[in-house]
Each structure stands twice: as structure tokens, then as C-alpha cells.
Amino acid sequence: MDRKITINDVAEKAGVSRQTISRVLNNKGDVNETTRKRVLRIIEELDFQPSMQARSMVTRKTNTIALLIPDITNPFFSEIVRGIDRTVRATNINVLLFSTDEEVSREVSCIQLAQNYNVDGIILCSPRLDEINLRKLISSKLPVVLLNREIAEMNKVYSIIVDAQTGGYTAAKYLLDLGHRSIGILVGPAYADSSVKRLIGYKKALSDYAVPLDESLILHIDHQHDKIHENTQLLVKRNATAILAYNDMTAAKIIQSCTEMGLEVPKDISVIGFDGIPISRLVNPRLTTMDLPLYEMGEMIANTLMKMINGEETHTKLTVVLPLLKVGQSTRAIT
């Protein structure tokens, strides 16, 4: 039964103390060049892998961050995760991934877990987590970055949020400019801040154009059972000439539903997405969407967290990302 090779095995074989091995490992303190070479050779020979656990215990650094997101298969998140991963990688930090499925109980236990792991920092995307648990987390010494979640009077936390209101406004305004007056909107669950904000923007645009608000054109979808098809049918039945989709994935499904109903996009009905994920360019017709710099958002998140971890003061407490209109072929002027 072969035990794992430890620093002691290396020390013994090299005929030096384990402290010297440690010095070689960490390039710290002076080590005789001959000794260093020999130690390195022996490390290689024995295929010695220093234990991060043991190291963490004394350095109080794990070089690991926790990442809590609802669903890794959602391209919105996976793009951001890629940005985060690529960025932290350069600093030898690794990512512990927790998928939460937006279940609050799971989020709470994942946060606990992350703390058990003594991660150096945590990135949290969780629209539903209650304020009490959120504040508790932030009050701990652990550096925290929030994605799409703001919290008042907490200057120990950094948030990056999408300006959903302006996004909703811009998208609606664009359709209004195209002549649409009956615009349906499919937003996310009502508890999500982004849904609320998106609706405010939408309503503001309508009112700016003196278009009376038709509440029946506002529909909410649930993350789990989305019922896009039913909702699209409803909106069509209610004479919507354009639809603001919850996100690009939803937009693609809406277009599909329209096609199945014998409607052509954008000839018969316009559809506009949100997020600007890679797929938005691949569906047919190419989506008009509110584009977000997802990868770059991941970079910003990671960079800020790393600064916090290193104890550097960050002046930025909040980054607001503005979605930009990217015109594709899923919208057109009404005649």
C-alpha cells in the first residue's frame, strides 16, 4: 500500500531537513544552488505533490474561490464563468463550482460549504437569497462579489449589475420607433429584481410614446416550467405585433412557436432578445437583442474579487452594465 509522498520523504531522500524542501518549493530564503538542484531532481523523481490542505492550514490561503450560480447550462452564466475562470487562472486561483438551481435552501448550504472550504473569496449570483442570509455572509470577513444583486449600505461588497431598466426601455423604445404599438413582454419571475426593473423601463417607454399600457401583454415566466409556447400564443391572440423576450433563449423559442403557428418573424411579428449570447447570432432570423459583454463581465468580477482578496482598496463598489441594442433580423418596422 503506497502512501502519498510527503515533504518528509523528499527530505529524507535528499538528506536535508524538510524545511529546506519547503524553501525550494516556495523559492523563499536562501538555498545552496547544488542542494536546490538535487532537491528539485528528487521531487521530480518521487513525483512529490505538496498537499494544499496542509499548506492552507498554515498559510490561511486556499487559492480557491467559490462560484455560486443557478445553472451552468445557461449560456448567460457559462460565458461569465469562462471570463472568471480565464482571469483567475492567471493568478493560480481555482474555482469551486456550486450550481444552485436557484433553490434558496441549496444556496444557503452552498455558502456554508464554501466557508467550510475556507475559500479566499466568493462570487454569488442568487436573485432569491433572503437578505438576512446575504447580510450574514457579507458581514463575515470573506470577500464577496455579487452578480445582479444590489444591497444597500454595505460597503464591504462589490456588485456588478445589468441595467435592466434601461435595457427594457431601449428595447421597447426601439420597437416603438419601428411603429409597434402593441408590444408584448415576457419577463422572468416577479421576485427577481431584473424583472421588475425591466418592466419599469418598458412602461416608461410606452408612456413616453403615449401608448396606453395593456397589462394583459405582460407575462411572467418561471425558471423551471417556462411555457413559452402557451405564452406566445396568448400574446399573439392579444394582437401583439412585437415581443420583448426574457432572454435570447426565450426569444429563440418564441420564434419557433410563431413559426409553428404559421407566423413569420419578422414579417408578421417582431421579436427581440436579451443578453446577446453566441446563439443569438445563430438562430434564424438572427436575433435583435440587448447585448451584454458577458465574458468581460466575468473578467471584471474576477479582477475585483482578486483585489479584495489581496486586501487592496477598491474604489468601485458597483458596476452597472448597460445592455446595448444590437439590431438583427428578428425585428422590422410596422407598415
259 touching a copy of itself, by CB under 8 A: yes
169 touching a copy of itself, by CB under 8 A: no
54 touching DNA, by CB under 7 A: yes
User: Which position among 12, 13, 35, 178 is part of the footprint of DNA (CB under 7 A)?
Assistant: 35
Which C-beta is closer to a copy of itself: that of 159 or that of 330? Answer: 330
Chain centre to alpha carbon of residue 42: 43
151 binds, among DNA, a copy of itself, none (CB under 5 to 8 A by kind): none
User: Which position among 8, 112, 284, 314 is part of the footprint of DNA (CB under 7 A)?
Assistant: 8
104 touching a copy of itself, by CB under 8 A: no
Q: Buried b vs exposed e over 194-226: b needs ≥16 C-beta within 10 Å?
A: bbebbbebbbbbbeeeebeeeeebbbbbebeeb
Please report how close the Cβ of residue 45 comes to DNA at its closest, in angstroms: 15
Restricted to residues 70-89, the positions that interact with a copy of itself (CB under 8 A) are 71-73, 75, 78-79, 81-82, 85-86, 89
113 touching DNA, by CB under 7 A: no
Please report how close the Cβ of residue 9 comes to DNA at its closest, in angstroms: 8
Residues 37/94, Cβ–Cβ less than 8 Å: no
Please report how close the Cβ of residue 32 comes to DNA at its closest, in angstroms: 3
Which C-beta is closer to a copy of itself: that of 32 or that of 49? Answer: 49
112 touching DNA, by CB under 7 A: no
82 binds, among a copy of itself, DNA, none (CB under 5 to 8 A by kind): a copy of itself
Task: Tell me how far apart the alpha carbons of residues 243 and 254 are, in angstroms, rounded to a whole number.
Answer: 9
Restricted to residues 194-253, the positions that interact with a copy of itself (CB under 8 A) are 249, 252-253
13 binds, among DNA, a copy of itself, none (CB under 5 to 8 A by kind): none
**SS3 of the chain:** CCCCCCHHHHHHHHCCCHHHHHHHHHCCCCCCHHHHHHHHHHHHHHCCCCCHHHHHHHHCCCCEEEEEECCCCCHHHHHHHHHHHHHHHCCCCEEEEEECCCCHHHHHHHHHHHHHCCCCEEEECCCCCCHHHHHHHHHCCCCEEEECCCCCCCCCEEEEEECHHHHHHHHHHHHHHCCCCCEEEEECCCCCHHHHHHHHHHHHHHHHCCCCCCHHHEEECCCCCCCHHHHHHHHHHCCCCEEECCCHHHHHHHHHHHHHCCCCCCCCCEEEEEECCHHHHCCCCCCEEEECCHHHHHHHHHHHHHHHHCCCCCCCCEEEECCEEECCCCCCCCC
Contacts of 315 (CB under 8 A, 6+ apart): none
20 binds, among DNA, a copy of itself, none (CB under 5 to 8 A by kind): DNA
283 touching a copy of itself, by CB under 8 A: yes
137 touching a copy of itself, by CB under 8 A: no
Which C-beta is closer to DNA: that of 21 or that of 217? Answer: 21
Which C-beta is closer to a copy of itself: that of 17 or that of 49? Answer: 49
Query: Binding residues for DNA, how many (CB under 7 A)?
Result: 33
Please report how close the Cβ of residue 309 comes to DNA at its closest, in angstroms: 16
Which C-beta is closer to a copy of itself: that of 161 or that of 249? Answer: 249
- Which residues lie near DNA (CB under 7 A)? 3-4, 6-8, 15-23, 25-26, 28-33, 35-36, 48-51, 54-55, 57-59
